[in-house]
Structure 1
Amino acid sequence: MKHLIARLWRLIRGPLQWRLLWLWNAKFMVGVTGVVRDDGGRVLLLRHRMWPPERQWGCPTGYANKGETFEDTVVREVREETGLDVKVNRLVRVKSGYKLRVEAAYEAEFAGGTLKIDSVEILEARWFSPHDLPEGIQESHRLLIQHAQP
């Protein structure tokens, strides 16, 4: 049976193969986080309006749009949430195992702009020393900041 399936697979080539793969495989949203640092090593943290009140602090984060690179997602999300520009560097973490999402995190560096928060999503934005993070920070983001030490 495997040989027959392999032979059929080679015959259908191209777009039909991609459509079948799309139907057969799992679909995920990709959450992308940026660990943004300034030239002094401080980390940009946001107090997110939509997150649980006891853990609202975290790095800039959001979901990748269709056709968008994850690096572009970091740049877009930071700009949308804070008005700041960043340069994305290395991948820090990829994590799967969730029902409907995969998470990717990147190091990024402040590249300019003036802080202007999106008050619909963000309550506050501040720079913190990685050794003096606020109460109420997402534990996963604390670990990212520690892991992404320069």
Structure 2
Amino acid sequence: MSKRGKVWLAVSGLVKYDEKWLVVKKRYGGLKGQWSLPAGFVNEGETADEAVIREVKEETGIDCAVKGLIGLRTGVIKEEVSDNMLMFLLEPKGGVQIIHQDSELYEARFMTPEELLQEKEASILLSYLINQTNSFLIPCKDGLNPGNQFGYTAYKIFL
């Protein structure tokens, strides 16, 4: 816990292909043994959307492009750690051959939302996303400069 401090920023990616969702089964953490979205923490020097592309590639071998932001999951762990995760919609760029990261994952595969709803090892977040009927996509605006005085090397707005 101390490595990340007491404010965490994570990302997850919903990769849709051929009416199926890319899901992973983690080997560690609170979601160990459960199907969930590919996810991980934002590293120093990267934007959240860059982090989700990196995490999906690391965990599954699939190159993706961000379509937009679909949500935020936020919570507090043991009354002290602020745990925040931005959820993005992604689309594969090129092939969808899965090469899962053995050290972190038991498995990665594409499943239909219907299959996931029947899966007893699906995370609560997956079930909620599948049943969400009024979702919308928040697109990205890139190439903005709020002023040279800030020194941004990357600056994007999702609105």
Say if 2:121 is the partner of 1:136. yes
Structure 1 residues 74, 90: CA separation in 2 closer, same or farther (over 3 Å shift)?
same
Mapped to 2, the partners of 1:41 and 1:149 lie a distance apart of 17
Shift of 1:53: 7.3
Q: Which residue of 2 aligns with 1:69?
A: 47
Aligned length: 124
- Counterpart pick for 2:7 among 28, 41, 54: 28
- Are residues 31 and 145 of structure 1, via their aligned partners in 2, closer, same or farther at CA, if it must alter by over 3 Å? farther
Residue of structure 2 in register with 1:112 after alignment: 94
User: How far off is 1:106 after superposition?
Assistant: 0.6
Residues 26, 32 of structure 2: 8 Å contact kept: no
In structure 1, the residue matched to 2:16 is 37
Unmatched tracts of structure 1, length 5 or more: 1-25
Give the alignment's TM-score, normalised by structure 1: 0.72
Name which one, 1 or 2, has greater alpha-carbon Rg: 1
Contact 2:11 2:85 in 1 (8 A): yes
1:54–1:136 CA contact under 8 A, matched in 2: no
The CA distance in 2 between the partners of 1:56 and 1:76, in whole Å, is 21
Report the Cα distance in structure 2 between the residues aligned to 1:59 and 1:46, rounded to whole angstroms.
6
Higher strand share: 2
In the alignment, does 2:108 pair up with 1:125? yes
Give the secondary-structure state (helix, strand or coil) at the position aligned to 1:131.
Answer: helix
If each structure's helix is expressed as a fraction of its own residues, which one has the higher value? 1
Q: Hey, what's the Cα distance between the residues in 2 that align with 1:105 and 1:70?
A: 10
TM-score by length of structure 2 reads 0.69
User: 2:143 maps to which residue?
Assistant: none
Unaligned runs of 5+ in 2: 138-159
* CA distance, structure 2, for counterparts of residue 36 and residue 84 of structure 1: 9
Residues 129 and 102 (structure 1), Cα distance of their counterparts in 2 relative to 1, 3 Å cut: same
Question: What is the alpha-carbon distance in structure 1 between the residues aligned to residue 16 and residue 42 of structure 2?
Answer: 21
